[in-house]
A = this chain, B = another copy of it.
């Protein structure tokens, strides 16, 4: 299956073999055997070009999930093994720079619990928490709807908040008590910065490139950009920045999420504490 996923992603037997660290002929054979075993043509070998068939597309999705599941099994078992005894820690994944005080409150409150286990933090980029949970690199995560997807995860809602526009202090818009999205997105002098996608490249368009929150805030303070963010980030604003509520921006819901079948004692305690802290 790993082999098939590699070929399906590369759409090229030679490159896929290289990526897998094996030679091309065994790979061809392996795919052939898989196709015979499943009774399905997975790849259409056109002239000099390989395409996914419908069955192949189905298998690609399913195989990715399956591979993530076995990776998760290995990782979680390894972690459970090296824990002392009855004290397997949990790994909490969260976006770097988001939910700062909520996270702090949660960790403090949880550490005070009588049966608390150690909590390791795993800071990751936007939208990476889902995969982290699915392949076992993390056990529980803080997500932010509607930006993250909770498909396939169990969740508890923690907090709902509006969004604010982050502007350079002194900008004309900061005099207004509230704004609308259109007021902010259409500013020629303050474009929204561009973020690198999952592949590390920046989308085309106007606006400066920013790689993390620090850079972003710096750009705003310099009067080169603006941004819309959950209102809880107000507590982290440095000098030179102002925040104005944006009425029609989607509300952001912070949820705590975990993979459905792995509700260990540590995860359960953390979830319970999170719900209690936020209610």
Contacts and interface: CB of A to CB of B under 8 A. Distances in A.
Contacts of A65: 69, 72-73, 261
Contact of A80 (B1, B58, B63, B151): B58
Contact of A262 (B39, B62, B74): B62
B261 A151 contact: yes
A82 B86 CA distance: 49
Interface residues of A, number: 42
Nearest to A56: B77
B73 A62 contact: yes
A260 B151 contact: yes
Given A40-B81, A152-B259, A76 B54 contact: no
Copies of the polypeptide in the assembly: 2
A275 to B, nearest CB: 17
Interface string A237-279: 0000000000000000000000111101000000000000000
Given A61-B261, A65-B69, A40 B77 contact: yes
A28 interface: no
A55 interface: yes
A42 B151 contact: no
A66 interface: yes
A44 interface: no
- Residue from A59, A62, A86 with most neighbouring chain B CB atoms (10 Å): A62
A61 to B, nearest CB: 6
A41 interface: yes
